[in-house]
Amino acid sequence: MLTSCFSLILRAGTFSVTSSVELPDDSCNLAWTLTTKIPDYVTVVRPDTPSFGPIFGRVDVSNARTAGTLAQVSEYLASRGLSFATYRSATDGDNFTATATLTSANEVNIEWLENEFAELGEKLDVDVSFTKLD
């Protein structure tokens, strides 16, 4: 279990809710649920403290047609030993987007990862961009 925070911010107003909750280590399902159940809000799920190594990169996903596509991206990352330090998703009509910062307990080959993201974008028909953070 890890302690995480999530925030709800109304896009066109000033309403904001922040809460601290205990979550299982895999919190991507909560992020997906919040995004689909309360679509008029921007949801953010992040650990209080990273449970893995340093943050090494950011991935942006756009033009996803369903929130389920974002869940597939989350599962894809987890299957390769990567974790979210932060995760933010939003929807604008039929366009689902997500931005996440990534951590890993192991050394990551950036060139390999960039190729993986290119393949993932083609496979899911979404735009995926990766930025290495120093």
Q: Domain residues of the chain, as ranges?
A: 2-132
Q: pLDDT value at position 83? A: 85
Q: How much is the average pLDDT of 58-76?
A: 87
Q: Give whole-number Cα distances, 106 to 42, 75, 80, in Å.
A: 31, 18, 10
- 126 pLDDT above the threshold of 90: yes
CATH number at 2-132: 3.30.70.260
* Residue 110 φ then ψ, to 5°: -65, -40
Q: pLDDT value at position 53? A: 76
Residues 6+ apart with CB under 8 A from 115: none
pTM: 0.61
Query: Tokens at residue 93, please?
Result: 């009509």
Ramachandran assignment for 33, one of left (phi > 0), alpha (psi -120 to 50 degrees), beta (any other):
alpha
Give per-residue pLDDT as tens, 82-121.
Answer: 888 888 888 888 888 889 888 888 888 999 999 999 999 9
Q: Give whole-number Cα distances, 93 to 40, 42, 100, in Å.
A: 10, 13, 21
DSSP, res 109: -
Give per-residue pLDDT as tens, 6-48.
Answer: 444 444 554 555 555 566 555 556 666 766 676 666 666 655 5
